[in-house]
């Protein structure tokens, strides 16, 4: 798995009837594919997050939607950023992700983390537990999932999960890339060093460089080459030359024209040693052409710019 530039779709509120929601998601994903984005991610939530809107705004179930997007696209990688491990039995999650890999012809990414949205757990009847509980569950889950997505039988008699000779067939690839999301240096970073291909570091811009250095040490502690664990940052983008990030958002969001946004990402993300960026545009909804405009600008500042073979020879003009 290689991610240079990903798109997260964080909301499905487009001011339209329900019949237009999924077509709008397809249109955004296809535009991202044509514009050189190599991956599209959905949030794995059942309600909209409070910082993005009201709880009762539209929210599609992630894996059902990703499977449908697999049939509507041909090249772009598909995953969640990220699945709370508390929402699904991990053996079932391994089955879901290997099935998504089959129906997408090898384009699935397993994104997961410990989970955090307590109100959602309470409403749907999922056990939330303590911070320690959730990381114990994530640790056990990864130990079970890792062999299953490699085609091995897995058995586990843990505190939280039990499985006996669990396996997944069919599989499209010998392995499926794993992305963890989080910022915890003691727990998340150690799990990423052990199990992950990619870590989405959820931290303010000013902390990214230090976080990257700690992650490298976590890899070295288990004799892993840090270069084999790719990193990204999730950044909120607002294409508006007249606006600036509101108070409290300056460390996670960039505002301005598309070239200005790209330059800020270079200075605040790539120059901090982060390999790649995943952007979302929650203030824009579905605005045709905007994903292309942003993608073209970001491509120009990627630290290891490689235009995927499947994109157009020259990125489209806007």
In whole angstroms, give the CA distance from residue 60 to residue 11: 9
Active-site residue 121, yes or no?
Answer: no
Active-site residue 169, yes or no?
Answer: no
Beta strands in 160-259 (DSSP E): 162-166, 178-182, 198-201, 230-239, 253-256
Q: Is 192 exposed, middle or buried (0-12, 13-18, 19+ CB in 10 A)?
A: buried
Catalytic-labelled residue, pool 31, 57, 61, 118: 118
In whole angstroms, give the CA distance from residue 121 to residue 71: 30
Contact 163, 110 (CB under 8 A): no
Query: From its phi and psi, is residue 317 left (phi > 0), alpha (psi between -120 and 50) or beta?
Result: beta
In whole angstroms, give the CA distance from residue 302 to residue 308: 13
Token pair in block for residue 74: 């041909």
| Residue 149: cis peptide before it, omega within 30 degrees of 0 | no
In whole angstroms, give the CA distance from residue 285 to residue 306: 28
User: What is the DSSP secondary structure assignment for residue 181, as one 8-state letter?
Assistant: E
CA 309 to chain centre: 22
Catalytic-labelled residue, pool 19, 31, 33, 45: 45
In whole angstroms, give the CA distance from residue 121 to residue 101: 27
In whole angstroms, give the CA distance from residue 122 to residue 143: 26
Catalytic residue numbers read: 45, 118
């Amino acid at each position: 798995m290689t991610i240079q530039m990903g798109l997260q779709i964080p909301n499905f509120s487009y001011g339209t009837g329900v019949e237009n929601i999924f077509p709008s998601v397809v249109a955004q994903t296809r535009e991202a594919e044509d514009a050189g984005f190599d991956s599209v991610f959905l949030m794995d939530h059942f309600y909209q997050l409070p910082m993005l809107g009201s709880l009762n705004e539209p929210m599609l179930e992630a894996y059902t939607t990703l499977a449908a997007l697999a049939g509507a696209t041909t090249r772009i990688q598909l995953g969640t950023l990220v699945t709370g491990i508390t929402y699904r039995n991990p053996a079932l999650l391994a089955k879901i992700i290997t099935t998504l890999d089959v129906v997408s012809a090898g384009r699935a990414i397993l994104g997961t983390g410990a989970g955090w949205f307590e109100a959602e757990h309470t409403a749907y009847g999922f056990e939330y537990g303590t911070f320690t509980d959730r990381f114990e569950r994530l640790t056990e889950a990864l130990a079970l999932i890792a062999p299953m997505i490699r085609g091995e039988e897995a058995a586990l008699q843990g505190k939280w999960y039990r499985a006996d000779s669990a396996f997944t067939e069919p599989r499209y690839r010998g392995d499926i890339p794993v992305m963890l999301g989080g910022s915890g240096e003691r727990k998340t970073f150690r799990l990423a060093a052990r199990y992950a291909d990619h870590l989405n570091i959820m931290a303010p811009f000013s902390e990214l460089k230090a976080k990257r250095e700690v992650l490298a040490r976590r890899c070295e502690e288990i004799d892993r080459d840090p270069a084999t664990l790719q990193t990204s940052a999730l950044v909120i983008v607002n294409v508006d030359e007249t606006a600036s990030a509101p108070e409290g958002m300056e460390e996670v969001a960039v505002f301005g024209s598309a070239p200005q946004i790209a330059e800020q990402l270079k200075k605040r993300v790539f120059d901090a040693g982060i390999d790649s960026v995943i952007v979302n545009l929650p203030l824009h909804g579905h605005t045709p052409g905007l994903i292309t405009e942003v993608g073209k600008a970001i491509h120009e500042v990627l630290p290891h710019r490689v235009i995927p073979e499947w994109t157009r020879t020259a990125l489209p003009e806007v």
